[in-house]
Amino acid sequence: MKMLLNPGQAAAVHDFDHDLLVTAGAGTGKTRVLTFKYLTLLKERRVEAPQIVAVTFTKKAADEMRARIREGIKSEIETCAPGERDFWLRQLEALETAAHISTIHGLCYSLLAEHPVEAGLDPGAEVMDEGEVYLLQSEAAEEALHLLLDGPHGREAAKVVLEQGVPFFTRDLVGIYHTLRESGQSLEEIWRISAENLKHGLAPVADVKATFCRSVEDFIVLGNSLPKITAKAKERLDELAAGWKPAKTVIMAAEVLEEELQAHLDWICSLLPRNTVRELKEPTNEIRACLETFRKTLVTKVAGEQLPLIREYLRIFAGEYRRRKEMAGRMDFGDQQILARDLLTNYPEIARSYQERFAYFLFDEVQDTNSLQWEILSKLIYANGVSHSKGRVFLVGDVKQSIYRFRGAEVEVITELASGFSSDSASNLLGGQGRTLILEENYRTLRPVADVINDLCKPIFSSEDYPFHPLVAVRSDEAADDPRVEMVIHEERRTEPA
């Protein structure tokens, strides 16, 4: 097995004294490093393939990793000493029959399949694809809405349905439920957090109205006092002053963000200048900020009033969805993760058996995981917060490539891990046994392109809690005078300055 690795890659592959978190930017060879790490565990540490857990984000990535490892093992079979041939043949067979190279959902399914009774799982249950999930959830959502409208709170529910629309219940709330369930939070915990956020985030509506109205009136007074102002700006200011009294009446009477109020707020915004004299810039920004606060306050107030009804709808929906899954003998990806988490939590002896069975863990795309998935992995790795042995965890990710927050990914997982891996405190997850490494040599991107990417991204990421690591392009097959980057700049239409 010939390893062509740069110094950073080699350090990541051969360090078995620390649990590692490797920050690998785009094109830095992370799949190569993961593959060589796996093969080095076989060759130098003499770990058996079934003792290694490799988790990737997609099935395609898992298949690619397995294919590369297969080629590496075949290469060893061809070149190894006669006494090692049986070992490598055994690894090749295990790779196809017993190796744990899969997505997190695939890993969870294998845990459940080994302990279906303890997990409370129907042995015949099958995992649904996205199409089946959508179909069952749609059926459950429609039935839940009918039951809600026919229930004791039907009149109140009908009012909310008319205000929010049917898709709010059958599409939006179901999507929120699906995302939250993927994160492993119970509905009870979600209600508690929602109620607290609404309680602490809701300012008195009367105070918000008064502040907004005062900001508009101060703006009108100030504008009329300025000696130099364009004719167009004066025209808009006069229009705002003339129409302000009826608009204020609607604003002060408003309790919900209904159509008439929205029309008046839009009218006020249309008369505010985008580019104006220095004296009016701050008052203009204050009006916009107060207006947004007013809108959010009304929406939050209504949400607080509707939360019990929403809670009842989701309770009915969850029951209908669960009943349909049981009737069909199906489970979704969220079920797999929650059942696996509960299995390892409720049966510590099972968790302990896995901690002793598995010798090493490789986890790719950590930036796209969530707290539930990391909790599952932690229960396989750590007993009472302590690793069974040091140097058995290898995590790879890149904060800059986190793009799946809309599907429940929590970038905070990797940032908190980075802090824990770098800390020497015995109270952190690794007890000071972690180490962070950075792969920054990019083999995919041409130097001019990498330079532009770095120049654009550095100021964007400068305000984040984690350091920005620029791409270091190492390709040398480019012509010095060959243009590689074209930028298209769109200039916003500007309004006439005041």
- d(CA 197, CA 258) in angstroms, rounded, equals 23
Q: What angle do CA 196, 409, 69 make, to 5 degrees?
A: 155
Predicted confidence at residue 202, as pLDDT, reads: 59
pLDDT tens per residue across span 57-96: 899 999 999 999 999 999 999 999 999 999 999 999 999 9
- Nearest Cα neighbor of 138 from 166, 96, 115 is 166
- d(CA 23, CA 367) in angstroms, rounded, equals 10
Within 8 A by CB and 6+ apart from 229, the residues are: 223, 237, 277, 498
Q: What angle do CA 283, 287, 293 make, to 5 degrees?
A: 140
H/E/C letters for each residue in 20-83?
A: EEEEECCCCCHHHHHHHHHHHHHHCCCCCHHHEEEEECCHHHHHHHHHHHHHHHHHHHHHCCHH
3 state SS of 99: coil
pLDDT for residue 489 is more than 90: no
| AA identity, residue 106 | G
Report the percentage of the chain scoring pLDDT > 90. 47
Strands 386-387 and 382-383: antiparallel
pLDDT for residue 300 is more than 80: no
pLDDT for residue 401 is more than 90: no
| Number of other residues whose CB lies within 10 A of the CB of residue 426 | 9
Q: Sorting pLDDT into bands at 50, 70 and 90, what band is 308?
A: confident
Q: Sorting pLDDT into bands at 50, 70 and 90, what band is 482?
A: low
Contact at 8 Å (CB) between 433 and 390?
yes
Main-chain phi, psi angles of 494, to 5 degrees: -100, 140
- Nearest Cα neighbor of 336 from 112, 56, 101 is 112
3 state SS of 486: coil
Residue found by looking up tokens 């009774």 in the block = 117
Mean pLDDT of 227-240: 85
Phi-psi region of 473 (alpha: psi -120 to 50; beta: other; left: phi over 0): beta
3 state SS of 472: strand
- d(CA 49, CA 359) in angstroms, rounded, equals 10
Contact at 8 Å (CB) between 69 and 38?
yes
Residue, of 231 and 32, whose pLDDT is higher: 32
Structure tokens at 178: 């699906």
Mean pLDDT of 1-9: 79
Report the percentage of the chain scoring pLDDT > 70. 87
Residue, of 189 and 371, whose pLDDT is higher: 371
pTM score over 0.85: no
Say how far residue 193 (Cα) sits from the centre of its chain: 19
3 state SS of 130: helix
Predicted confidence at residue 429, as pLDDT, reads: 47
Helix (H) or strand (E) holding 335: helix 333-346
Q: What is the mean pLDDT of the chain?
A: 85
pLDDT tens per residue across span 181-229: 877 777 777 777 666 666 665 568 889 999 999 999 999 999 889 887 7
- d(CA 115, CA 109) in angstroms, rounded, equals 10
3 state SS of 103: strand
Predicted confidence at residue 366, as pLDDT, reads: 87
- d(CA 195, CA 341) in angstroms, rounded, equals 26
Strands 19-24 and 393-397: parallel
pLDDT tens per residue across span 145-184: 999 999 999 999 998 898 888 998 999 888 888 877 877 7
Mean pLDDT of 219-242: 87
pLDDT tens per residue across span 85-143: 999 999 999 999 999 999 999 999 999 999 999 998 887 889 999 899 999 999 999 99
Contact at 8 Å (CB) between 318 and 177?
yes
Predicted confidence at residue 422, as pLDDT, reads: 62
Please count the helices (runs of H) and the strands (runs of E) in the chain: 20, 12
Helix (H) or strand (E) holding 180: helix 174-182
Compute and round to an integer the Cα radius of gyration of the chain.
29
Predicted confidence at residue 142, as pLDDT, reads: 96
Predicted confidence at residue 493, as pLDDT, reads: 54
Mean pLDDT of 377-399: 79
Within 8 A by CB and 6+ apart from 339, the residues are: 108, 112, 119, 120, 121, 331
pLDDT tens per residue across span 46-55: 999 999 999 9
- Nearest Cα neighbor of 398 from 368, 423, 374, 361 is 368
Q: DSSP characters for 191-204?
A: HHHHHHHHHHH---
End-to-end Cα spacing for the chain: 72
3 state SS of 479: coil
Within 8 A by CB and 6+ apart from 163, the residues are: none
pLDDT tens per residue across span 332-362: 989 999 999 999 999 999 999 999 999 999 9
